[in-house]
Structures are given as structure tokens and as C-alpha cells.
């Protein structure tokens, strides 16, 4: 009986553990799991219904949202804490998900 390994779920748990690392990528996770990046990409998309990169981005933005609501940490610091390098890019991605800038979102969430 062979062990069935769910690489998509392993990838998700690695994302949850290491999302703060801005260098985290499909390639680094595939290497960690000892499989090819293409194989992981295909598996992940089939299993999760969303591309790896999009999932990672979504996970980081969700973590940022929690920090915006639950803390008064500066947005620039939150940006780095959730694995984004560029503040402008973070704002653009956040706005794509929540239709507000992080600062506007925080103000609305706290009022």
C-alpha cells in the first residue's frame, strides 16, 4: 500500500507557516516538497481551484486585514509582516480584494 501524499495541502500548510518570508514562492515550496514547480502548480490549481501565486497573495492579504483590524501597527510594518516588499504593490493588491486602501479599510473597520 503506497502512501498518498497531498502536495497541495502540504503546500498550503507551508504557506501558512512561511507567508511572512517575502522570498516564498512556488519554486521554494516545490523544492521543499522535492517535486517540480510545474507539477505542484498543476496539482495546486486542480485541487484548490486557484493558482498558487494567487492563493499566496490572498492568504497574505487576509493576514494583513486581521492586523489592520486588531492592531495599530503601521501599515508599512504590516506590509513587511505579511511578506510584501513593496508598499505600493501591497496597497494595489489589498484594494483589489477589499475595494479600499488599507488605511481606509482600517478606519471603516474601527468605526
Query: For 10-52, how does the pLDDT look when each residue is reduced to its tens digit (9 = 90+)?
Result: 999 999 999 999 999 999 999 999 999 999 999 999 999 999 9
d(C-alpha 95, C-alpha 102), whole Å: 7
At residue 5, the pLDDT reads 75
Angle at 108 between CA 73 and CA 62, to 5 degrees: 55
d(C-alpha 17, C-alpha 14), whole Å: 5
d(C-alpha 17, C-alpha 75), whole Å: 21
d(C-alpha 58, C-alpha 82), whole Å: 11
Amino acid at each position: 500500500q503506497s502512501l498518498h501524499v497531498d502536495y497541495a495541502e502540504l503546500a498550503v500548510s507551508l504557506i501558512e507557516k512561511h507567508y511572512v518570508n517575502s522570498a516564498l514562492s512556488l519554486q521554494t515550496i516545490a523544492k521543499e516538497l522535492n517535486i517540480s514547480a510545474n507539477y505542484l502548480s498543476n496539482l495546486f490549481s486542480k485541487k484548490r481551484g486557484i493558482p498558487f501565486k494567487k492563493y499566496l497573495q490572498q492568504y497574505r492579504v487576509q493576514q494583513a486585514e486581521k492586523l489592520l483590524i486588531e492592531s495599530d501597527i503601521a501599515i508599512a510594518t504590516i506590509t513587511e509582516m505579511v511578506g510584501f516588499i513593496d508598499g505600493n504593490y501591497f496597497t494595489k493588491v489589498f484594494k483589489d480584494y477589499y475595494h479600499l486602501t488599507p488605511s481606509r479599510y482600517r478606519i471603516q473597520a474601527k468605526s
